[in-house]
Every structure is written in structure tokens, then in C-alpha cells.
Amino acid sequence: MVRQLLVKNFLYSQCEKCKSFYKEESNAKSCQDFCSKYSESSPQLIKNSVKLL
């Protein structure tokens, strides 16, 4: 369970990096598919996993 959360957090952080890296609108779309999978698991999940560690 903890490992799964950490993987999701990692992927979410990668999504955030992607979005900040591709600030132009045309490039941001390349992050959308990747990010859409992890956007729902964002800050709450990160808080929960920190508690578990």
C-alpha cells in the first residue's frame, strides 16, 4: 500500500514538473493525458503517504 502511494506521488510530481516545464499552451497538451491519470490522487494522497512514512 505504501509503495503504491509513493509511486502515485512520484507520478503526480512528474506531472507537475511536466506542466511547469511546458508552460506554453501547445506543449502543455502533451502533459494532459499523463496528468489526467494522477490529478485525482494529488495533494490528499501526498499528505496521507507522508503520515504513513
Distance, in Å, from the CA atom of 21 to the CA atom of 28, rounded to the nearest integer, reads 8
Locus of grid cell 507522508:
50
Q: What is the spatial distance between Cα 24 and Cα 32, in angstroms, rounded to a whole number?
A: 13
Task: Convert the chain into a string of H (helix), E (strand) and C (coil).
Answer: CHHHHHHHHHHHHHHHHHHHHCCCHHHHHHHHHHHHCCHHHCHHHHHHHHHHC
Top pLDDT among 2 and 50 is at 2
pLDDT of residue 43: 54
Task: State the pLDDT at residue 27.
Answer: 59
Q: Output the nine-digit C-alpha cell for 22.
A: 511546458
- For 3-52, what is each residue's pLDDT tens digit? 777 777 777 787 778 777 766 666 566 677 667 765 555 555 555 555 54
Residue type, 28: A
Q: In this model, does residue 53 exceed pLDDT 50?
A: no
